[in-house]
């Protein structure tokens, strides 16, 4: 049984790269008929941000990524929050200690800092490893009675992993193949902090084992510490899960990891939901609040680093689940592309039913204090849907269906309202008043009998009419619009335009 987990730390809003990691885990789990678990990694108490955990849960609900077990729903392997599992870790740390895989280290943060500065001065980098540990303040270097004395007197200490000297450790990565690193170059990572909490490295291994995780699908930034994790499994005598390290999501311009700053700078969200930072008070934009459809975000994200092996790009969640494969995950980082994101959004917006779009439009119409018959709103929605990408554009592109223009676009006026135009408009009013108010009759009277017969410029007349009725020279078929608005309303608008724009 495949069991995967998404394990964010609740230090703020969920980054879109994290969302993609969760999505790949989810697709894999569902395809394999396995379980998807949400575990909160909050071993760093200093970085706790209130609301972050709730944010993460809400984001996944919005995106349609469902969990089988997790902090919010419980499950047979709980608790699913590491701070709630605190009591559990110590015994495993002791097990490592007893087996000689870990040791006490009493070096203070200040001492470590000084050491690093000292090395830096010589243009070297200090690393707490097999070559330096005997010169430090730990149970490997100190006499046994001294260690005991410090322990007894309650000196603060951490537990460090004791890397074996000069052994090659190979990580079998499902995406990259075998990656080998030598333990000599790896540092003795802290496993257990002086505050009584494990670090990520220890907690992660203990929890994955206890929760029977079979596949660890996580970001590439974890690859360098994968050998440590492999060694920990070995030290415990546990079977390690399979690993897959995902390529990073890069900023649209230049190189480097996609960050919140890039989003602010380039004007796109890097978070699924809007986020109000409780500390700084600043608000970060979210895909949901921007009007993105969750299925568009999911589809876009799925294709950033993975492909189905053919040319298909539009896929529902079910199709993604069916088609997903770790083999088709690419190795290189992917730059986020805003244009492509907008394209996905447009595609999915078009798939919305007329009624759904009408409901969105209706809300906006009502918010402008206007009541319109439902059928009319649906008709407008179905006509205008295809030229819209975000729900927020609805009112702006459709407002003239519900209210007369209050102003006329200056450039359009300059270009289209030629001298003598008010005379033509008066004629249009005359036609509207005398000719049967139906499409064919109006078309004949206006386009054929008046414009063509008098060798007038069709574009000029029709665009001025549009300007009068809409306020701009954009919109759907002019006669359809006239018919929808009604004779009286159209005449009123033309008259007002003649008065306002004049000649």
Partner RNA sequence: GCCGCGUUCGUCUAGUUGGCCCAGGACGUAAGAUUUUCAUUCUUAAAAUCGCGGGUUCGAAUCCCGCACGCGGUACCA
Give the footprint of RNA on residues 434-493 (CB under 7 A): 458-459, 462-463, 466, 473-480
What does the radius of gyration of the chain's CA atoms come to, in whole angstroms? 33
Write the binding mask 125 to 154 for RNA: x where contact by CB under 7 A, - elsewhere.
Answer: xxxx--------------------------
Closer to RNA by Cβ: residue 41 or 362: 41
Position 222 contacts RNA (CB under 7 A): yes
Structure tokens at 358: 């009408």
Give the footprint of RNA on residues 88-107 (CB under 7 A): 107
Least distance (Å) from RNA to the CB of residue 221?
4
Closer to RNA by Cβ: residue 221 or 438: 221
Give the footprint of RNA on residues 36-65 (CB under 7 A): 41, 43-44, 47
Considering only 29-37, 219-227, 354-362, 368-376, which stretch makes contact with RNA by CB under 7 A? Answer: 219-227
Cα 491 from Cα 494, distance rounded (Å): 5
Q: Which of 136, 197, 398, 428 binds RNA (CB under 7 A)?
A: 197
The SS3 assignment for 431 reads helix
Q: Which of 158, 211, 315, 358 binds RNA (CB under 7 A)?
A: 158
Least distance (Å) from RNA to the CB of residue 350?
7
Position 8 contacts RNA (CB under 7 A): yes
The SS3 assignment for 457 reads coil
Q: Count Cβ atoms within 10 A of the Cβ of residue 416 and give its class: 0-12 exposed, 13-18 middle, 19 or more buried.
A: buried
Q: Which of 189, 251, 260, 385 is catalytic?
A: 260
Position 343 contacts RNA (CB under 7 A): yes
Cα 288 from Cα 271, distance rounded (Å): 9
Least distance (Å) from RNA to the CB of residue 371?
26
Closer to RNA by Cβ: residue 307 or 356: 307
Give the β-pairing of 177-182 and 168-173.
antiparallel
Position 340 contacts RNA (CB under 7 A): yes
Position 265 contacts RNA (CB under 7 A): no
Position 119 contacts RNA (CB under 7 A): no
Structure tokens at 158: 């951490």
Least distance (Å) from RNA to the CB of residue 215?
18
DSSP characters for 303-351?
A: TSSB--SSS-----HHHHHHH--GGGB-SS-EE--HHHHHHHHHHHHHT
The crossing angle, in degrees rounded to 10, of helices 52-63 and 294-302 is 90
Position 304 contacts RNA (CB under 7 A): yes
Give the footprint of RNA on residues 312-331 (CB under 7 A): 313, 327-328, 330-331
List all residues 6 or more positions away from 123 whose beta carbon is below 8 Å from its beta carbon: none
Q: Which of 386, 396, 440, 499 binds RNA (CB under 7 A)?
A: 386
DSSP characters for 95-127?
A: HHHHTTSEEEE---HHHHHHHHHHHHHTT----
Cα 347 from Cα 390, distance rounded (Å): 11
Before 245, cis peptide (omega within 30)?
A: no
Least distance (Å) from RNA to the CB of residue 294?
19
Q: Which of 140, 174, 179, 431 binds RNA (CB under 7 A)?
A: 179
Q: Which of 72, 172, 257, 492 binds RNA (CB under 7 A)?
A: 257
DSSP characters for 75-93?
A: -TT---BGGGGHHHHHHHH
Closer to RNA by Cβ: residue 20 or 367: 20
- Examine the residue annotation and report whether 124 is marked as an active-site residue of this protein: no
Residue with tokens 């802290």: 190
Closer to RNA by Cβ: residue 78 or 308: 308
Position 199 contacts RNA (CB under 7 A): yes
Active site residues: 260
């Amino acid at each position: 049984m495949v069991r995967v987990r998404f394990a964010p730390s609740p230090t703020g809003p969920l980054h879109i790269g994290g969302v993609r990691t969760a999505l790949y885990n989810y697709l894999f789990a569902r395809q394999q008929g396995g379980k998807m678990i949400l575990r909160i990694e909050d071993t760093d108490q200093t970085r706790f941000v209130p609301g972050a955990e709730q944010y993460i849960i809400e984001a996944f609900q919005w995106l349609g990524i469902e969990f089988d077990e997790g902090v919010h729903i419980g499950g047979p392997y709980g608790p699913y929050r590491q701070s709630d599992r605190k009591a559990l870790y110590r015994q495993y740390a002791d097990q490592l200690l007893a087996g000689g895989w870990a040791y006490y280290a009493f070096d203070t943060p200040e001492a470590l800092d000084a050491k690093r500065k000292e090395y830096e001065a010589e243009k070297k980098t200090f690393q707490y490893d097999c070559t330096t540990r005997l010169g430090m303040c730990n149970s490997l270097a100190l006499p046994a009675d001294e260690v005991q004395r410090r322990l007894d007197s309650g000196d603060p200490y951490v537990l460090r992993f004791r890397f074996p000297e000069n052994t090659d450790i190979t990580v079998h990565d499902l995406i990259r193949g075998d990656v080998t690193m030598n333990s000599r170059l790896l540092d003795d990572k802290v496993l257990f902090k002086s505050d009584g909490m494990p670090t990520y490295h220890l907690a992660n291994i203990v929890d994955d084992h206890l929760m029977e995780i079979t596949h660890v699908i996580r970001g590439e930034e974890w690859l360098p510490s994968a050998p440590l994790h492999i060694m920990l499994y070995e030290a415990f005598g546990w079977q390690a899960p399979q690993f897959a390290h995902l390529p990073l999501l890069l900023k649209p311009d230049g190189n480097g990891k996609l960050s919140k700053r890039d989003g602010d700078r380039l004007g796109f969200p890097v978070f699924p939901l809007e986020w109000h930072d409780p500390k700084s008070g600043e608000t970060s934009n979210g895909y949901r609040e921007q009007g993105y459809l969750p299925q568009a975000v999911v589809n876009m994200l799925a294709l950033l680093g993975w492909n189905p092996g053919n040319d298909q790009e539009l896929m529902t969640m079910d199709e993604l689940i069916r088609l997903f494969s770790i083999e088709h995950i690419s190795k290189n980082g992917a730059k986020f592309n805003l244009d492509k994101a907008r394209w996905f959004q447009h595609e999915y917006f078009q798939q919305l039913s007329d009624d759904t779009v009408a409901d969105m439009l209706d809300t906006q119409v009502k918010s402008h204090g206007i009541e319109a018959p439902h059928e009319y709103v649906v008709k407008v929605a179905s006509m205008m849907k295809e030229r819209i990408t975000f729900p927020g554009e609805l009112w702006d592109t459709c407002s003239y269906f519900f209210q007369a223009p209050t102003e006329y676009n200056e450039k359009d006026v300059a270009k289209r309202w030629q001298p003598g135009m008010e005379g033509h408009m008066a004629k249009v009013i005359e036609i509207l008043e005398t000719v049967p108010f139906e499409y064919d009759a109006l078309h004949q009277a206006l386009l054929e009998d008046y414009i063509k017969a008098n060798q007038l410029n069709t574009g000029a007349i029709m665009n001025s009419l549009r300007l009068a009725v809409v306020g701009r020279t954009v919109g759907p078929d002019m006669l359809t619009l006239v018919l929808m608005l009604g004779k009286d309303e159209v005449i009123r608008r033309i008259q007002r335009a003649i008065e306002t724009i004049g000649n």
